[in-house]
């Protein structure tokens, strides 16, 4: 938490860097205030955990006799009282970091007020930092069996609301940076759905992470989460870098600067279209592979022994599926919904006429162009030849579990 706040300080400064503009000032102030409040709430939750356990060590220390939070958590018969309040406060703090609804309202203003390069950092590095912390907490601090279903179901509801709200808001947005901000909110919902499925299925009962080896489904879904965080850097950052290149000609507050981009700079337009298709989850790009792994992992968890039962010829129905199956369906439907606003960018770039004042070829800006090309190539490579990266993510998942 300490290192996360140290990193956040620089983010606050970068967001408010263009304070001379109304959008930059508003976005910077709002992001700082909301971020400070959420950090205070999370720290208060951590202080309650200290009050409850007497220390903040995750694992027990036999040398000092200190009982770790993980062991103390596992000893509880139900998740009530002080630990429940503390854990909720900590989750609220991380919900802001990952832009989960209803704690997302500062993100669109921060993205649109900051420069595109800073917005790209917000959408990738900052979000990854929040999710890494969230994964560590949710995987290591397992709720007891009779309480896990309650709050993991709540996390699942937040995931569905987050992805749906993000996509619906992006549909009505005409500002490219705000659209990508809402897209980031939707992607946060996808990853929260995977986390909810992981917790609801693997914690408690026979598949308790603390008392037995992690299930194949748990390894799969955690691998998918890490893979999604890694490849998201390529196509999300690449999209913001294209907007940064357009900003060298002036403000990009609507989709008009993107009009006719294919005529002005075909390579950049194709790169941007690759990023949009990957964000939508179109094969064979990296975004498709990450969503395929996420949805596949959630379905595998929700099905349990259903596939074996079907193979054995036993009777089985959809009603026997775990409730997390509907999370996978929500991710699929929201991904289909997102196609509308991602493809709209492609239509504007390839079929509309450039506006007055933006008809000349884009400036060279070789560093920006090289970065965009690297992101575009990475988006394709990680989608077509992703085996090696998936293996690395799998090893990272084993280390967490």
Quick: pLDDT tens for 226-260: 999 999 999 999 999 999 999 888 778 888 889 98
Residue at token pair 């969230």: 134
Task: Look at 150 and 4; give whichever has higher pLDDT.
Answer: 4
Helices and strands counted in the chain (H then E): 17, 0
* Cβ contacts of 154 within 8 Å, gap of 6 or more: none
| pLDDT at position 188 | 92
Chain centroid to Cα 328, Å, comes to 15
Task: Tell me the C-alpha to C-alpha distance, in Å, between residue 292 and each of 27, 326, 332, 384.
Answer: 34, 15, 9, 13
Residue at token pair 């009530």: 80
Whether residue 239 contacts residue 180, with contact meaning beta carbons closer than 8 Å, is answered with yes
| pLDDT at position 362 | 81
| pLDDT at position 286 | 93
Rounded distance between C-alpha atoms, residue 41 and residue 31, angstroms: 15
Q: Which of 61-75, 221-235, 262-276, 352-366 has the lowest mean pLDDT?
A: 61-75
Instruction: Tell me which range, 93-107, 139-153, 168-182, 195-209, is most confidently predicted by mean pLDDT.
Output: 168-182
What pLDDT band is residue 206 in, cutting at 50, 70 and 90? very low
DSSP assignment of 189-238: HHHHHHHHHHHHHHSSGGG-TTTSPPPHHHHHHHHHHHHHHHHHHHHHHH
Whether residue 40 contacts residue 112, with contact meaning beta carbons closer than 8 Å, is answered with no
* pTM of this structure: 0.87
Sign, Cα dihedral of 373, 379, 383, 386: positive
Task: Tell me the C-alpha to C-alpha distance, in Å, between residue 285 and each of 193, 291, 343, 347.
Answer: 22, 10, 15, 19
Whether residue 52 contacts residue 83, with contact meaning beta carbons closer than 8 Å, is answered with yes
CA dihedral 362, 366, 372, 374 (to 10 degrees): 150
Rounded distance between C-alpha atoms, residue 6 and residue 31, angstroms: 15
Helix axes 216-247, 387-400, angle to 10 degrees: 120
Q: What are the residue boundaries of the structural domains of the chain, listed by start?
A: 98-105+115-400
Q: Which of 14-23, 128-137, 202-211, 381-390 has the lowest mean pLDDT?
A: 202-211
Rounded distance between C-alpha atoms, residue 41 and residue 330, angstroms: 30
| pLDDT at position 213 | 39
Q: Is 325 left (phi over 0), alpha (psi -120 to 50) or beta?
A: alpha
* Average pLDDT score over residue span 254-271: 90
Rounded distance between C-alpha atoms, residue 12 and residue 393, angstroms: 30
Helix axes 145-171, 81-97, angle to 10 degrees: 30
* Average pLDDT score over residue span 209-236: 75
Q: Which of 78-92, 242-256, 261-275, 325-339 has the lowest mean pLDDT?
A: 78-92
| pLDDT at position 4 | 73
Is residue 140's pLDDT more than 80?
A: no
């Amino acid at each position: 938490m300490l290192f996360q706040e140290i990193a956040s300080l620089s983010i606050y400064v970068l967001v408010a860097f263009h304070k001379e503009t109304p959008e930059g000032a508003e976005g910077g102030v709002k992001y700082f205030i909301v971020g400070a409040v959420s950090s205070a709430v999370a720290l208060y939750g951590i202080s309650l955990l200290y009050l409850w356990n007497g220390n903040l060590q995750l694992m027990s220390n036999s040398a000092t006799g200190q009982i770790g939070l993980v062991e103390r958590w596992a000893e509880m018969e139900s998740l009530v009282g002080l630990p429940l309040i503390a854990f909720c406060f900590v989750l609220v703090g991380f919900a802001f970091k990952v832009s989960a609804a209803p704690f997302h309202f500062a993100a669109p203003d921060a993205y649109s007020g900051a420069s595109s390069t800073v917005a790209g950092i917000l959408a990738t590095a900052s979000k990854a930092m929040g999710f890494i912390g969230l994964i560590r907490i949710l995987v290591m601090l397992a709720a007891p069996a009779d309480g896990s279903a309650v709050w993991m179901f709540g996390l699942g509801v937040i995931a569905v609301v987050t992805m749906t709200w993000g996509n619906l808001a992006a549909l009505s947005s005409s500002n490219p940076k705000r659209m990508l901000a809402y897209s980031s909110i939707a992607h946060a919902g996808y990853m929260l759905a995977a986390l909810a499925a992981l917790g609801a299925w693997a914690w408690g009962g026979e598949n308790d992470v603390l008392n037995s080896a992690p299930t194949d489904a748990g390894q799969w879904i955690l691998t998918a989460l890490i893979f999604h965080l890694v490849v998201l850097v390529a196509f999300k950052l690449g999209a913001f870098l294209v907007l940064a290149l357009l900003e060298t000609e002036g403000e990009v507050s609507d989709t008009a600067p993107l009009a006719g981009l294919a005529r002005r700079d075909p390579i950049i337009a194709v790169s941007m279209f690759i990023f949009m298709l990957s964000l939508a989850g179109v094969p064979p790009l990296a975004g498709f592979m990450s969503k395929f792994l996420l949805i596949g992992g959630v379905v595998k968890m929700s099905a349990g022994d259903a596939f074996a039962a079907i193979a054995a010829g036993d009777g089985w129905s959809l009603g026997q599926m775990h409730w997390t199956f509907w999370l996978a369906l929500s991710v699929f439907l929201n991904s289909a919904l997102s196609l509308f606003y991602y493809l709209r960018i492609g239509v504007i770039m390839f079929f509309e006429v450039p506006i007055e004042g933006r008809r000349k070829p884009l400036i060279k800006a070789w560093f920006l162009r090289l970065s965009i090309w690297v992101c575009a190539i990475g988006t394709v490579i990680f989608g077509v030849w992703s085996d090696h990266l998936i293996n690395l993510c799998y090893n990272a998942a084993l280390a967490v579990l």
